[in-house]
Amino acid sequence: MTRFETANAAETIALGRRLAAELRGVVLLIGNLGAGKTTLVKGIAEGLGAAREEEVSSPTFTLIHQYGDPPAVYHIDLYRLDTEREVESLGLEDLFASDRLVLIEWGERFPGLMPLPRTEIEITAREDESRIIVWRQRNHNEQA
């Protein structure tokens, strides 16, 4: 487990840029509404050269955004989905099997569908706009 603290959105984006080179495979972004999940994605996508920070937005209604040409990053938001069947209809297994970075907001709601190994980044927002960001690796031999 690795713990970071950021003071504001700009620092969260900067942290995303720094972490981008270390991320692989599937990454669950965990946190309440407004915690800063999409803000972190802005930095990750920019750090990978897949998109400028202002081009990144939440996929709450479209469910999946892709950044880069060819896509280097998939940004998925499962907030509006209620059942595993709805999630399965997205065909995420193909993305999981690719060599692309797959960033998933609200994936912890469907633990049985999320692959191992994976990275989990949990973001906790404080009242002063600072964030506590915790990075964990989950492996095949661990329970979610």
Q: Which two tokens stand for residue 53?
A: 């920070």
pTM: 0.94
Domains of the chain: total:
1
Instruction: Assign residue 91 the CATH number of its domain.
Output: 3.40.50.300
pLDDT in tens, the chain (144 residues): 999 999 999 999 999 999 999 999 999 999 999 999 999 999 999 999 999 999 999 998 999 999 999 889 999 999 999 999 999 999 999 999 998 999 999 999 999 999 999 999 999 999 999 999 999 999 977 654
Task: Note whether residue 136 is domain-resident.
Answer: no
Find the DSSP H helices in 21-99.
Answer: 37-47, 84-88, 92-97
Task: Note whether residue 121 is domain-resident.
Answer: yes
Task: Note whether residue 4 is domain-resident.
Answer: no
Contacts with 82 (C-beta within 8 Å, 6 or more apart), sequence order: none
Task: Note whether residue 38 is domain-resident.
Answer: yes
